[in-house]
Amino acid sequence: QNKTDVKIITNQLDLVREFREIYLTSELDDKTVKETLAILEGTKNIIKPRDRNIKSRDRESKGETLEKIESEIANFDYEQKRAALQMMDGPQRIRGLAGSGKTIVLAMKAALIHLREPSVNILYTFYTKSLYDFIKSLITRFYRQYSEIDPNWKKINILHAWGGKNLPGVYYN
């Protein structure tokens, strides 16, 4: 097989074998490892923050702390990976503290379900009105990672939990 050919890896054993065949002249740095994990986890498509111009490289500065936090967002922890990839029959509720990754986990889950079961109706509900466009963008990004077309939005409903007279929502409708 030509070195430039694409190899499709479908299970963990093949992935381990592939990594064992790679000969590296030096150890990978943390940035490369994290980037590789983000690609393998499918979180590479998450919108990245713009680079900050931090004058002080003081490890205790607010800017440095914020930059570190933002760089970690795309790397899921074990529970987030499990929640995003685990498929269950029937409704599933994901709960967590603010900033814990619920929106991203659910967007990935919606995209994966739609890829696997394109005829199934999916309801993605949320409480923050300003998240609608962001959620739609995330689902599209995750879906397009594995498909050359956009999701069928007739099958994926993104609705505010409550809704109201001027806003469609799960409870109002």
Closest CA to 106 of 161, 62, 57: 161
Across residues 11-30, what is the average pLDDT? 78
State the sign of the Cα–Cα–Cα–Cα dihedral 45, 46, 50, 52: negative
Looking at per-residue pLDDT, the higher value among 55 and 38 belongs to: 38
Alpha-carbon dihedral 123, 160, 141, 95, rounded to 10 degrees:
-80
Query: Global pTM?
Result: 0.59
Residue-level pLDDT at 52: 57
Across residues 33-43, what is the average pLDDT? 71
pLDDT digits (tens, 9 = 90+) for 98-117: 777 788 888 988 998 999 99
